[in-house]
Amino acid sequence: MAGPMKMRATLAGGNTEVRVLMSHPMTTAQMKEGLHHIRNVVVKQNGKTVVEAEISQAVSRNPVFSFRLKGGAKGDKIEVSWLDNKGESNKIETAVA
């Protein structure tokens, strides 16, 4: 069961600042839980993919990412989704404040 996510998207200096928090153990193979980490993160702005990320178990537990999208306006739909190495996934959608 994927943990909660939280996201804040605001306008700053003509761009859209996105900060997304993800609940995920991000454990390495050495840890007792075994290798369990987010592999892919996709950021969409009004349905259009703008960032595609591949990440490893070297990203900290409960990852927090900040992105900057070009332009944007209040009310824009920002969606961030993730997929991990076990096939679990989660996503969150927020309107730009």
Partner 1 sequence: MRLGFLLAAVLACAPLFAQDTKKEIQKYQQMIADGSPVELFELEGEALWRKPQGPSKVSLEKCDLGQGPGVLKGAYARLPRYFKDADRVMDLETRLLHCMTTLQGRSREEATKRVFGNENQPSEMEHLSAYIAAQSRGTKLAPATSHPKEKEAYELGRALFFHRAGGWDMSCASCHGEEGKRIRMQELPVLHKREFARPIMATWPAYRVSNSQFKTMQWRINDCYRQMRYPEPTFASDATIALTSFLTVTAAGEPYRGPGTKR
Partner 2 sequence: MIKNRRTLLAVLGMLLLKPFAALAAWNEQAFGAKTAADALSGLGAPSPAPSKDIVIDAPQIAENGAVVPIEVMSNIPGTTSIAVVIEKNPFPLAGKFDFKDGALPFVKLNVKMGETSDVRVLAMAGGKPFVATREIKVTIGGCGG
Task: Tell me how many residues contact partner 1 (CB under 8 A).
Answer: 14
Q: How far is the CB of 87 from partner 1 (least distance, A)?
A: 19
Give Cβ neighbours of residue 61 (< 8 Å, ≥ 6 apart).
24, 25, 26, 27
Q: How far is the CB of 97 from partner 2 (least distance, A)?
A: 19
Q: How far is the CB of 89 from partner 2 (least distance, A)?
A: 6
Using CB under 8 A, which residues numbered 48 to 67 contact partner 1? 60-62, 64, 66
* CA end-to-end span of the chain: 29
* Structural Rg of the chain based on CA atoms: 14
Residue 33 tokens, joined: 């839980």
List the single partner that 6 binds among partner 1, partner 2, none, CB under 5 to 8 Å by kind.
partner 1
